[in-house]
Amino acid sequence: MPWFIKTETFTPETAALPIEQKRPHLEAHRQWVMSHGNSGRRIHSGYLVDGEQRPGGGGLLIFEASSFEDAHRWVQDDPMIQAGLVNWQLQQWIHIGGDEL
């Protein structure tokens, strides 16, 4: 089955919010990812940090789906996307070397 990568960054409006206002959305996103992982979807999720380990570089979601259309439909259920809090991009990943995920 093909692998896909969704990258995301907070919108400028979301980035300006205090963490207390972002936290419920981040937790909803985390629960959404965990529920799909627990139900058998092959998925890897995390956020990006800079050289000082400070978050703010966005998020990365790597997962399997049967097609680009299926992947696109699925990521649109992400609570962060549904709430309009992130700018995001979806791409299929073609593995050419290294360890398999």
Q: For the domain that residue 36 is a member of, what is the CATH number? A: 3.30.70.1060
Instruction: Tell me if the pTM is above 0.85.
Output: yes
Q: 40: which DSSP letter?
A: T
Position 98 in a domain = no
Strand order in the sheet with 55-64: 43-49, 55-64, 3-10, 86-93
Cα diameter, the chain? 41
**Total structural domains within the chain:** 1
In-domain check, residue 99: no
Tokens of 56: 């703010």
Is there a domain that residue 54 lies in? Answer: yes
Instruction: Give the pLDDT confidence of 39-76 residue by residue, as tens digits.
Output: 999 999 998 888 888 887 899 999 999 999 999 999 99
* Residue 101: inside a domain: no
